[in-house]
Structure 1
Amino acid sequence: MSELTSTPQEPQQDFLSRSLFATLNLDLEKGLYILLIILALITRFYALGDRVVSHDESLHTQFSYQFYNGDGYVHQALMHGPFLFHATAASYWLFGDNDFTSRIPVALLGVILVALPYLLRDWLGRKGALFTSFIFLISPYLLYYSRYIRHDIYVSTWALMVFIATIYYLRQTKDKYLWWFAAGNALMFATKEVSFIYVAIFGSFLVLRLLPQILVAPWLQKSREKLLIPLVVVAIGLVIAGGSFLINRSAEEAVSQATATATSEGFAVDPNVAASSEAASETSIWGWLIVLGIVVSGTGLLYTANAMRPHIDQYPEFNLIVLFTVLILPMVAPFLVSLVGCNPNEYTMSTCMLAGQETMTPLQIFFARLTQDTCRQAFFSSGLVHSGSFLIAMLAISVIVGYWWNRRRFFIAAAIFHTIFAVLYTSVFTNLGGWASGMIGSLGYWL
């Protein structure tokens, strides 16, 4: 009879009983990252408050201080997005108001930027990611703007966040990366209008990555008949938009020449004034045709994608392209407003006086003005009506496309994006008009 013996197992230590090195599972690679982060902290924070503030910094600190001091903050596109002012005001609240504390948020993000390549090891390789962090550490550009109160480091960090979320979703297709993608875009657009360029870059990459996969897909041959009509619609829209654009450019040159002539030959009764007005009206007509062409092409693309379903749903690039589109589409409204010859920065509402309106209720005044030709023309010629109409239309299209794509994903991503956007642009709901100025004014001002 044999005696069975067993070695007693060592009791497992809980989290607090383990040493720090055992918990972190440190190796050479992680040790190098810690070293880079320490060097980043030193180079970003050493003597951070010694340099006198520059002109740009003085504006940013002034409005941040007013916000911190309880005087509120109103978004102005001239000084880009509101995130910087919220972050700087928060730093004042936490650490006091001085030159050093005003630069803490940018310095902190400068350190985070050095650490972020750690998340890219699967794509860059371990050595490549370490080298990228090292380059970020010693980059004169990144070092300078990590010690300078401007939007550059903020928007660079959010753009890298969007990029990381994109490549993680392309590989793993987990919804949580779509939420990070939406949050990164919201922070990016709440920081600086250069975000539109980042979207163009990332979007082009996704389109160029998606198209070759579709062209070699075996299911494409079976879907040719269904794709024919939608693609023809896309082509018609492109012809309308492209042709109208070329003609519109000629009309704009005519307006410029007529205006220049009218300015240099200021007659008491100048015939060039009428010519200039007619030319401006012509550019508006062609601008509307450009918008029509864009709408037709967009409709054709939607029908093309619908004809490819459910096959196209298996491509993560498609999901990211659609999400980019539905999140950013409302903010493209100012571009369309400018195309039709209106000013996206004009937020006035034209009204007219009615005889006896002092005794009318607001509802009676509304319907009376609606039925009066002069009042109706004044209303529809208002800048606020132009911009608001396009914004509402773009929001509606965004919801329709998002619902068609994937209503669950769309509503979660849209809630994340618009919550962050609304909180920042309305200065935590103390300036409700900030939402509209963010949606329209951000791009409209720089057009």
Structure 2
Amino acid sequence: MNAVSHTKAQPAPISAARPALVADDAQALEAAYRLAVDFARGSGARDADRLLPWSELERYSASGLWGATVPRAHGGAEISTVTLARVIATVAAADGSLAQIPQNHFYALEVLRVGGSEEQKRFFFERVLAGDRLGNALAEVGQRDFRRRTRLVREPGGWHVDGEKFYCTGAIYAHWIPTLVVAEEAGEEVSYLAFVPRDAQGVTVIDDWDGFGQRVTGSGSVRFERVRVEPEWVVPFKASFDRPTTIGPHAQIMHAAIDLGIGLGAFEEMLRFVRERSRPWLDSGVERASDDPLTLHQVGHVRLRLRAAEALVERAAAEVDAAQRAPDEDSVARASIAVAKARILTTKAGLLAADKLFELSGTSATQSEDNLDRYWRNVRTHTLHDPVRWKYQAVGNFHLNGKRPPRHGAI
């Protein structure tokens, strides 16, 4: 069986309880709002002490949201990408780490929807609706494209996975770990997504993520030592990028929603702090910090940037929905560029909100007991997922030269 190493507490057993089923988009949003109130209460303590959110994650799963994108043909609500982005942003405003944990779960479901066989869809969608969580083991340390050394070995006695991955957000909490593997085929390396059971012989999940932000995402290492996988658990991956699909923009809109949500959470904390605890600057001539004219100007500026980011996320998510309905070269390119624009602005707005939380609240906001720096640490860490400077390039090249962006998960 697998060994799970932890720097703090040992993991709780993964529940097998069947979650509720989300019926539609409105129900998904309602569930997200309820959970956000719940998650906000302990988010500071979880971050400060690096307490992995096992009980919160169980409630998150039980809400039915993790199965909400499953297609209606397979028993799910098939909520829109617009709604999914709102759900993620709502949760991220309460706890950035909890918002990121299921990102790769939804990503794997999109890979299945686009590239899986009908039998694979039927099996894994049913497992997700029954409560199974999907993690990820995609990236590797030390490779130019971060992915290429973990192998799928096909032998007469069975198929096996060998390798090691890092940045495996959600793997420690998962029932299945979708793992990017490569296999040699006719002299060429072909990539697949192998759905590996977390408790399979030879799987070691290591809780060694020590980033200063997103501290309880469990984004550590997974090691695979001759781990047996069944052929029906292996889904084509490269083939889904050889043609226009929404896997890339679907992944990226969720990242945008996380950054947006963390920024919105920082903004709300700033409003509360300025109202309740900040002092006006002595030259302002006012009695309350909330009446300081320069503070009011900056609050308005931050809110405007966040609202613009919200609008771009919603517009981009609608483009992803349209491309899912009718994927072709142009619709997927439009979706990818719209999402790139949203990622640019959510990065800038999220960082701005986290920075202004301290600038406008004052020195007392830096006290460790409040742990307000988690907003800046979380958004700074998550916005490094992939370089926003390349998104400017993609947007400019599209509008100036009519060049479609590359098809991969980072655009």
TM-score w.r.t. structure 2 length?
0.31
Q: Tell me which protein shows more strand as a share of its residues.
A: 2
Structure with bigger gyration radius: 1
TM-score w.r.t. structure 1 length?
0.29
Q: Tell me which protein shows more helix as a share of its residues.
A: 1
